[in-house]
Amino acid sequence: MSNIGSYDKRAKNFDWNIAEKELDYKDGDLINIGWYCSDRICEMGKADKMALIWEGHAGKAKKYTYNDIRLTSNTIGDFLRGLGIKAEDRVCLFMDKIPELYLGFLGILKIGAIAQPLFSAFGDESLFVRLDNAQTRAIITQKKHVSKIRKIIDKMPYLEFIIVVDHDPSKPLQEREIAFNLEETPNVENIEIHPTKAESPSVLHYTSGTTGQPKGVKHVHYSLISQYLTTKWVLDLREDDVYWCTADPGWVTGTSYGIIGPFSLGVTQCVLDAGFSADNWYRFIEQYRVTVWYSAPTAIRSLMKAGDDVVKKYDLSSLRHLASVGEPLNSEAVIWSEKVFGKPFYDTYWQTETGSIMISNFPGMKVKPGSMGLAFPGIDSCVVDVNTYEPIKETGKVGLIAFRPGWPAMMRTYWRNEEVYNKKFQNGWYIPGDRSSIDNEGYFWFVGRDDDVINTGGHLVSPFEVESALLEHEAVAESAVVSKPDFVNMEVVKAFVNLKPGFEPSKELDLKIMNFVRKKLSPLAMPQEIEFVDSLPKTRSGKIMRRILHAKEWGEEIGDTSTLEDD
């Protein structure tokens, strides 16, 4: 039996008070995520339970119990407080997926400061834009990244402290830099936890839209209520699980479900800080007997590309539940995972602004490959008309996904950008900016971003749907679909295709793929042009950046490319 049990019963009788009771929280109480994810677990008698198993390059490993997590986060919090860091000061975490990133996140929250995790592959200009918007007071980083900060330090008088966790003592520290070695610093047994309340700010995540500067999404400590319960019911984490979330905490999945969710449940989780390879990932699952695995469609497709034979080299029998996040999960990936792992990946839908999972395929429920699933209990959701923002009653008709505001993990604002924040709400709904339809059983079916949908001759074509069809062709490894200008139809479909090994671009293959899609979907959805490419532009978190390809086709400015993996 899964944690959620009967979805229908949960949805019928739902109240967020379920999570509040389990966390022993009452309205008006103090609530501090850092304390809940460490001290509370120790007070429950799990101090000696393994909390974090970390493996870096070359197989170097470190292990931390929940008491270790408590002590090390205390130590980091005490160090920051000793520097004069106060409640609501922004403290940036700019590191690879090393233990200090996870421990520092909790330490920052314990003293009431705001954690600002940023992806360590950002360049100096991308870093500056985000630090400048937040007016960040301190940054915790590694020696390999400190040179980026030095390039922009003169433009940031507000950045008082650059804390280097692995400083080489043979080299001099520069302006505002401080060495801090966690392993050489005496543990702090007790620390005064800042008395944060439900609406006290906790995390500032930056998200890039299709236009404008990155936006700082502000979350609060009460988000724990959503993150705890969605982790329990969607990811189905249990007492004896070993959990692996492959997301980097520089992105919201890596904090909501790579730190807060599992630690608040007192679960053992493992982290692999090494480059992707199918062999290494499967070896990691086998070695640590991973039971619950939360990953991304891009990674799943990369594993598919590596082939089925590599799977057979490893014992993956420990896997109990698989889930996916970050972009729509193609139906063929679900079918493939059932074939090679004996169980499907369960798609989950949410975004930085929602803070927690909003629509999902739940353990035990019927999975419809390609569907996003059902709304999480307690989430009032629908699709609304793109012009009136009124709910669409007609089954299968495409509209904008909409959520009624009020769930605990919903963002509270865009940092210093209330105007753009307010535009996300229309007619009493929060509008994420994605299009979907809903079938007769309440399942959501993703169509595309509101600005990605292709209108060809008045007919809406989903890039995701065409991409899914393309991926079913034997020659296609990856694909991205955008619109291109057309005199008659305004827009037609163009596909960028990366071929599998053993296939070469040719006019004959071009026509075969076009006809394959035409037969599978419709003549309207058939690509009018296929461009074969060696690689597709992706963010460092693995999402294909269709807007880069779209901009090139339409002769538009490409815009911010700071999150490109090869930028």
Q: What are the tens digits of pLDDT across the range 395-436?
A: 999 999 999 999 999 999 999 999 999 999 999 999 999 999
Strand order of the sheet with strand 177-179? 177-179, 161-164, 138-141, 90-94, 114-117, 201-207, 215-220, 413-414
CATH architecture of 7-438: 3-Layer(aba) Sandwich (3.40)
* Average pLDDT taken over every residue of the chain: 93
- Of 102-111, 243-252, 298-307, 401-410, where does mean pLDDT reach its minimum? 298-307
- What is the CA angle 529-531-534, rounded to 5? 165
Closest CA to 378 of 401, 358, 354: 358
Q: Token pair of 388, please?
A: 């009136």
State pLDDT tens for residues 159-218.
999 999 999 999 999 999 999 999 999 999 999 999 999 999 999 999 864 445 789 999
**Residue-level pLDDT at 207:** 84
Instruction: Output the pLDDT for position 459.
Output: 60
Tell me the pLDDT band of 561, cut-offs 50, 70 and 90. Answer: low
Of 129, 102, 92, nearest to 37 by C-alpha is: 102
User: Taking 60 as the threshold, does the pLDDT of residue 458 lie above it?
Assistant: no
List, in sequence order, every residue forming a beta bridge with 117; answer none if it has no partner: 93
Q: Where are the beta strands (DSSP E) in 46-87?
A: 50-55, 61-65
Q: What is the 3-state secondary structure (H, E, C) of 120-158?
A: CCCCHHHHHHHHHHHCCCEEEECCCCHHHHHHHHHHCCC
Contact 383, 446 (CB under 8 A): no
Which of 534, 437, 422 shows the shortest CA–CA distance to 478?
Answer: 534
For residues 483 and 454, what is the distance between their CA atoms, to the nearest angstrom?
Answer: 6
Q: Which of left, alpha, beta for 454 (phi over 0: left; psi -120 to 50: alpha)? A: beta
Write the pLDDT tens digit of every residue in 38-92: 999 999 999 999 999 999 988 899 999 999 999 999 999 999 999 999 999 999 9
Q: What digits encode the pLDDT tens for the residues 425-438?
A: 999 999 999 999 99
Q: Which residues contact 307 (CB under 8 A, 6 or more apart)?
A: none
Per-residue pLDDT reduced to its tens digit, 280-314: 999 999 999 999 999 988 889 889 989 999 999 99
Same fold: 7-438 with 452-554: no
What pLDDT, on the 0 to 100 scale, is given for residue 211? 45
Angle between helices 297-306 and 278-288 (to 10 degrees): 110
Residue 455 reports pLDDT greater than 80: no
CB 467 within 8 A of CB 480: yes
Q: What pLDDT, on a 0 to 100 scale, did the predictor assign at position 567?
A: 45
pLDDT of residue 210: 41
Task: Decide which of 3.30.2310.20, 3.40.50.880, 3.40.50.150, 3.30.300.30 is the CATH code for 452-554.
Answer: 3.30.300.30
Share of the chain above pLDDT 90, in %: 78
Distance CA 498, CA 515 (A): 18
Rounded distance between C-alpha atoms, residue 523 and residue 497, angstroms: 19
Q: Global pTM?
A: 0.85
Q: Where are the domains of the chain?
A: 7-438, 452-554
Reported as a single tens digit per residue, the pLDDT across 302-352 is 899 899 999 999 999 999 999 999 877 888 899 999 999 999 999 999 999
C-beta of residue 219 within 8 angstroms of C-beta of residue 409? yes
pLDDT of amino acid 339: 96
Place 540 in a pLDDT band, splitting at 50, 70 and 90: confident
What's the CA gap between 287 and 461, in Å, rounded?
44
pLDDT value at position 408?
A: 98
- Write down the pLDDT at residue 40: 98
